[in-house]
A and B are shown apart, each in its own frame.
Chain A
Amino acid sequence: MTNATLKQLSQQLAAGEVSSVELATHYLDRIEALNPQLNAFITVDRVRTLADAAAADAARAAGQAGLLTGVPMVHKDIFCQQGWKTSCGSKMLDNFISPYSAHVVEQCNAAGLVTLGRANMDEFAMGSSNENSFYGAVKNPWDLNAIPGGSSGGSAAAVAARLTPVATATDTGGSIRQPASHCGVTGIKPTYGVVSRYGMVAYASSLDQGGPIAQTAEDCALMLNVMAGFDERDSTSLERAREDYTRELNQPLAGLRVGLPREYFADGLDADVAKVIEDAVAELKKQGAQVVDISLPNTELSIPAYYVIAPAEASTNLSRFDGVRYGHRAADYKDLVDMYEKTRAEGFGAEVKRRILVGSYVLSHGYYDAYYLKAQKIRRLIANDFKAAFEQCDVILGPVAPTAAFNIGEKSGDPVQMYLSDIYTLSVNLAGLPGMSVPAGFDRRGRPVGLQIIGNYFGEAKMLNVAHQFQLATDWHTRAPAL
């Protein structure tokens, strides 16, 4: 049961081999046993979970079960979930019980999925290491000294440690792909606008996108079928016909054109990571894929562009956390301004404050053109790079991060070093493209390394096809850490 995939669990439930309550109990017990080491969860509510599981069993008994009814899952603590604490990893929302549910949560509930708990994350999704959580750092299940990646570190660690078959996550600059890579699990960030942002606490609105993390590409496809879909409550949600993301899984890869961007294999890429990617490419070639040399010349500019645009949007998205209506409010203050200042000084962590300051600065009078507008221009250049590249290839392959997971504390004192590690993921968000990470090997220290697959707009089914065919031929995704 422990290593079962979403698909297998769904089949076992359908066959009556296991009940939802039994499954939930199994995972809750594992969480209870292993989470103290990993710190992957912010909230677990056994009573509530078991009640939901019992309801799922009842629905099944009444003949009302869908494909995923009764399967347990975990939500990143960024998705508002009615009746659950939705902290977003912040002291600011430590006391916030959401009165409503995000579109993603509604969709999961409607599909009959049972929530096991709420995954730890970098505060307000700002971070690449999960060291920025008010609830403490998440540990990498493969090596408790290593970071799990961020910001969806709790989601990735929970799936890797088999504390859940699947978890929701969000990706603003790599926050699904990078922790998936570091934890040896599969994660996909869809095209911007495919998954509704309604009820997803906003970090950088023009970049944020929800997606699943699971063991396999097939599970990701099944989850994306649940999570995706037009939502009129999000003006950036795309009104498109519903897709079945599993539809291309079994297509052979013969003739697939795979682009390898030169810039992703230049200086700074760890040799072990490079080797893992080369081997993965070789495997795909073996399956009939053709390799195309491509260039994404503005890749380096994605770091300054991202670290202007994302903080700019964040600085105003986080203005609502003012202590007036909900969330943390300072205990003692002498007037309104003092209340704001103390509340926000106490409620936000250092990285969040850093980004609010940077964002406020780049939007301020006299600097807007030099920073924000220029970053938007770079953003267009980056999108154009991809447009040109996709004239030559069907998918782009590369590393997710320059190295496997680094140690906890290794970069936390140097934000710029931390930001530079996002080099291969940021441009996908800036262009609004879909991207995923697939387990492809390990580095010399035994830490997982993921292969990044970047698709063209709405290319999710194709990317999942490539990942699935890769997983049929390899077993990296089946490896689990010893805990």
Chain B
Amino acid sequence: MKWEVVIGLEVHVQLNTATKIFSGTSTAFGAEPNTQASAVELAFPGVLPVLNKAVVEKAIRLGLALGSKINQKNVFARKNYFYPDLPKGYQISQMELPIVEGGVLPILVGEEEKLVKLTRAHMEEDAGKSLHEDFSGMTGIDLNRAGTPLLEVVSEPDMRSPEEAVAYARALHSLVMWLGICDGNMQEGSFRVDANVSVRPFGQQEFGTRREIKNLNSFRFLEQAIKYEIQWQIDTLEDGGRVEQATVLFDPDSGETRMMRSKEDAHDYRYFPDPDLLPVRIADEQIERIRSEMPELPAAMKARFVEAFGVSSYDAALLTGSRATAEYFEAVAQASGQGKLAANWVNGEIAARLNRDGKDISACPITAERLTGLIQRIADNTLSSKLAKQVFDALWDSDLSADAIIERDGLKQVSDVGAIEKMVEEAIAANPKAVEEYRAGKEKALNALAGQVMKASKGKANPAQVQDILKQKLA
């Protein structure tokens, strides 16, 4: 049987506010356990939550970027369950009236664009951490993370392959960083993904029974976990079994998912509006102010790059993969007036080198200004593409400008007709066999001669000119 995969994602985006969602305690990562937990996070008797307004602002930013509806009245609710790293015995979240509803996120799968619909995004507090190692049979509780603001972004079950799910997660990841609302650090848990996965016979309307894979903190694990889960579900169904609704965990070591709790163990969270917090009211003016402060969004920027710099739609999509890359590209394209060349270098050599060195564009050793210097020398024919590559290597490893490197290493392309003619004549004299073959109609022989000239010029001769002069002399 042919199976169709259905995937929806719930992403926990940690918002990069300086303080926690319901107290003035710092959110900085990595402090000694329980040093960033005030009486509020410890849930002492009598303490009360006070909403950090920056959280609302950041949620609105995301909502506007996704074209969502911003609920101008939204309500915090208590989600009740007992766990040692949840000190109040309930998580303050949103249920019936979340701050953000609806919206779409465009994703790029291969070279295809697809629109994924959003269900909602709601504000909530993160829990602390339970540490099961290093305490000889006991569990340690670290409440530093408790109260860190989260936006839980829930998609519709619109994805049909692991690749689409990863593309969606990547697009959302780059968007929240683009908007400056999340540091995007997946190792530190700033962006965590839960995947709801089901399969159904191709053509069937109803969804299959889903299982939810919890807490995936890398794109690689997301893909591996979904792939394993799909295969497990298909195998189970094809063996005549049934998929039961469940929550599962992915074990990166074994590459398998395993059951955490079944539907029977599912909590009744007893949601109800938190009486300690008033409904959040958002004025039109606040939304308009945030809208006016929004950075240009990836889709708009992409269209503008195609229009203004003549780059391909595909290149523009890559360039707008992150705000830093887009800004870098735009600076080079503007200053050099060479959009296509700039796109080729940013998406080509720069991307490859950064990838090789595991660096982000913000840590690129070649500034936009220095890359502009290189591109200008390519555009004005000072550098052949081969020489340009050489200059690029030198740019990567030094702080010199392209011009200084060209000067230092004498890499200027030779376009002086007299000098090239001299070298061509020498090559003709030294290679009578090739001359003979060319004259006998073997076009390729010309390349051998041109190669000799380039070699004699140490690569600096203008290749087009060499070809022209060779043809002239042999005519």
Query: Residues on A close to B: CB < 8 A?
Result: 79-80, 86, 88, 93, 96, 98-100, 102, 197-202, 204-206, 232-236, 312-313, 315-316, 318-322, 324-326, 336, 340, 360, 363-365, 368, 372
Q: Which of B82-109 contact A (CB under 8 A)?
A: 82, 84, 87-90
* Cβ of B353 to closest chain A Cβ, rounded Å: 50
Give bound CA distance, A365 to B278, whole Å: 23
* A-binding segment of B48-56, B205-213, B414-422: B48-56
With A99-B39, A235-B278: A320-B268 Cβ-Cβ less than 8 Å: no
Chain A residues with Cβ below 8 Å from B46 are: 79-80, 86, 98, 102, 197-202
Q: Which one of B45, B89, B270, B272 lies within 8 Å of A96 (CB-CB)?
A: B45
Max chain A CB contacts within 10 Å: which of B43, B44, B80, B88?
B44
Which residues on A sit within 8 Å (CB–CB) of B268?
364-365
**Which one of A232, A319, A325 lies within 8 Å of B80 (CB-CB)?**
A319
Query: Which of B39, B45, B278 is the one whose CB lies under 8 Å from A88?
Result: B45
B275 engages A99 (CB within 8 Å): no
Nearest CB to that of A320 among chain B residues?
B43
Contacts of A233 in B (CB 8 A): 48, 50
Using CB atoms, name the residue of chain B closest to A101: B46
Q: Closest residue of chain A to B267, judged by CB? A: A365
Determine the chain A residues whose CB is within 8 A of the CB of B270 once the complex forms: 315-316, 360, 363-365, 368
A365 to B270, CA, bound (A): 6
Cα(A205)–Cα(B48), bound, Å:
10
Check B387 for interface membership: any CB of A closer than 8 A: no
Chain B, interface SS category: loop
B interface residues, how many (CB within 8 angstroms): 29
* Cβ-based interface call for B277 (8 A): yes
With a cutoff of 8 Å between Cβ atoms, the chain A residues found around residue B272 in the complex are: 312, 316, 363, 368, 372
Residues of A within 8 A of B89 (CB): 316, 318-320, 322
In the complex, what distance in Å separates the CA atom of A372 from the CA atom of B48? Answer: 22
Task: Determine if B90 and A316 form an interchain contact, defined as CB atoms under 8 angstroms apart.
Answer: yes
Which residues of chain B from 225 to 257 have a CB within 8 Å of any chain A CB? none
Question: Smallest Cβ distance from A130 to chain B, in angstroms?
Answer: 20
Which residues in chain B, 48-91, are within 8 Å of chain A measured between CB atoms?
Answer: 48-51, 78, 80, 82, 84, 87-90
Inter-subunit contact A205/B275 (CB<8 Å): yes
CB-based nearest B residue for A368: B272
Contact call B51/A322, Cβ cutoff below 8 A: no
Q: Mark B260-288, 1 if CB is under 8 A from A, else 0.
A: 00000000101110011110000000000
Is the CB–CB distance between A80 and B277 below 8 Å? no
* Overall SS of chain A's interface: loop
Which residue on A lies nearest to B82, using beta carbons?
A340
Residues A235 and B87 in contact in the complex (CB < 8 Å), given A88-B45, A96-B45, A100-B39 = no
Task: Tell me if B48 and A234 are in contact (CB < 8 A).
Answer: yes
Within the assembled complex, what's the spacing in Å between the Cα atoms of A198 and B275?
13
**A371–chain B nearest beta-carbon distance, Å:** 11
- Residue B474 at the chain A interface, CB threshold 8 Å: no
Question: Could you give 11 example pairs across A and B, Cβ below 8 Å?
Answer: A79-B46, A200-B46, A202-B46, A235-B277, A236-B276, A316-B80, A324-B87, A325-B87, A363-B272, A364-B268, A365-B268
In the assembled complex, which residues on chain B have CB atoms less than 8 Å from the CB atom of A234?
48, 50
Residues of chain A within 8 A (CB-CB) of B80 are 315-316, 319, 363
> B177 on the interface (CB 8 Å rule)?
no
> Which of A205, A320, A336 meets B45, CB within 8 Å?
A320
Q: Which residue of A lies closest to B277 (CB)?
A: A235
Closest CB-CB distance, B86 to chain A, in whole Å?
Answer: 9
Question: B165 → chain A, closest Cβ, in Å?
Answer: 30
CA distance A368 to B42 in the complex (A): 29
CA A204 to CA B141, docked complex, whole Å: 28
- Contact A93 B276, CB 8 Å, known A100-B39, A235-B51, A325-B87: no
Asked if residues B49 and A235 are in contact (CB atoms below 8 Å), the reply is: yes
Q: Are B45 and A197 in contact (CB under 8 A)?
A: no
* Contact indicator B276/A205 (Cβ below 8 Å): yes
Interface status of B47 (Cβ within 8 A of chain A): yes
By a CB distance below 8 angstroms, the chain A residues around B43 are 320, 325
Selected contact of B50 from candidates A79, A88, A235, CB within 8 Å: A235
Q: Which of these, A80, A88, A319, A360, contacts B88 with CB under 8 Å?
A: A319
**Closest chain B residue, CB of each to CB of A376:** B273
Known pairs A316-B270, A365-B270 / 17 extra A-B pairs, C-beta < 8 Å = A80-B45, A99-B44, A100-B44, A202-B46, A205-B276, A232-B50, A235-B51, A235-B278, A236-B276, A315-B80, A316-B89, A316-B272, A322-B84, A322-B89, A324-B87, A340-B82, A363-B272
The residue among A98, A316, A336 with the most chain B CB atoms within 10 A of its own CB is A316
Q: Is the CB of A197 within 8 A of B48?
A: yes
Q: A80-B45, A205-B276, A326-B44 are in contact. Are A319 and B82 (CB under 8 A)?
A: yes
Cα A199 to Cα B276 in complex, Å, equals 13
Q: Which residues of A contact B49 (CB under 8 A)?
A: 235
Select from chain A the residue with minimum beta-carbon distance to B40. Answer: A233
Chain A residue nearest to B45 in the complex (CB): A201
**Contact among B42, B90, B276 for A235, CB-based, below 8 A:** B276
Chain B residues whose C-beta falls within 8 Å of the C-beta of A236 in the assembled complex: 275-276, 278
Q: Return the chain B residue nearest A323 by Cβ.
A: B84
Q: Which residues of A contact B276 (CB under 8 A)?
A: 202, 205, 235-236
